[in-house]
Amino acid sequence: MENKKNTILSILFLIVLLVLTFYLMFSGQDLGIIMDQIARVNKWYLLTGVFLVIIFVCCESVIIKYLLHVIHIKWPLHKCVRYSFIGFFFSCITPSATGGQPAQIYYMKKEGLDIPKSTIVLLLVTILYKFVLVFIGVLVALFGQTMILDLPPEIKFYFYLGLGLNIFSVVFMSFLVFYPKLSRYLLIRFYQLLGKLHLIRRVARKIVKINRSMDDYERASVFLWENKLAIFNTFVISLIQRLLLFFVTYIVYKSFGLNEYSALRITILQSLISISVDMLPLPGGMGISERIFSVIFVPIFGTVSLTLSAMLLSRGISYYALILISAVVTIYTHILVVKKAGGRKMHPRKFCKAELAPQDEDFPK
């Protein structure tokens, strides 16, 4: 019951944030003009954008299937596609995208995948997904200074803050992977110190969770050293995946019949938004994403009203449409899993707390 309440509260928070965002963005604007501009766009471009978003999700499915194949598990692609949509749905409705992976592990387990194997695959997907964003951000910072210098100070702050947080995240995860024993020792000592200082409670329970997580990172370390080519291939697919999503904004730009700016420039600007908001504790970077878009794309679209129209379409395709599609797939999968289980229901988060325990099984075999 408590977990259901948490999910409902997450969705309610998302709705409140959505209403507040749109109120602040469109307050004082002529909505009639904006709706008229949206009505006149080329709908085929918008359908292309929706198609790219679906391919974006399916790229993760390909990665999951590929990594499972590397560890000698043959798994249907259509199931991997469902896991990807489930992950994106829970990531979209939870702060900092924290809910996606536990939900994926839950449904993988229910359909017969071992928890250690599914956990390590999703851990690698997450690390490489973050690493690709850092890779793009560093390239923009090094070779896109002309573009960055033209940005307002507020947007520069968000960009460098986001890039810094993502670099820290990738470095921290890499340290956990490449130095798992040292990481385990330091983290346990750190939590014991916090416990002695009475800054945290239930230290023993937290140490159990640390050991559980570090078991996963140790398996990841083994996998990385033994499958370097697979990791490189996964990086390439993740890079393509990210660029496809960023390219949606250029598709929206073209739908208005505009041609002045290149696909490269618009894709880079969209990547700058994603880098800026990726680590912020807001579902999908909602609020900040719309704010940055409405500032940096005015020179591209020419007017404030046209920029807001483009923002509605770009975010509508790449985020809100993704939530709806993912929600449908998640509901379908849940009904399917519950039906196979004979009607026994269990919430993903409750499952992760109850069953996500260390196992003696070696990985990979």
pLDDT, tens only, 191-227: 778 777 777 777 788 788 877 777 777 777 777 777 8
Query: For position 49, what pLDDT does the model report?
Result: 93
Residue predicted with more confidence, 114 or 238: 238
Residue 328 above 70 pLDDT?
yes
Query: For position 5, what pLDDT does the model report?
Result: 59
Tell me which residue of 180, 169, 171 sits closest to 214, measured CA to CA: 180
How far, in whole angstroms, is CA 139 from its chain's centroid?
Answer: 20
Structure confidence at residue 114 as a pLDDT band (50, 70, 90): confident
Query: For position 106, what pLDDT does the model report?
Result: 86
Query: For position 352, what pLDDT does the model report?
Result: 47
| The residue type at 74 | K
Structure confidence at residue 112 as a pLDDT band (50, 70, 90): confident
To the nearest whole number, what is the mean pLDDT of the chain? 81
Residue 361 above 50 pLDDT?
no
Range scoring the smallest mean pLDDT among 15-24, 44-53, 290-299: 15-24
Please say whether the beta carbons of 283 and 95 come within 8 A: yes
Is the pTM value of this prediction over 0.85?
Answer: no
Over residues 253-276, mean pLDDT: 92
Residue 354 above 60 pLDDT?
no
pLDDT tens-digit series, residues 25-69: 666 666 788 888 888 899 999 999 999 999 999 999 999 999 888
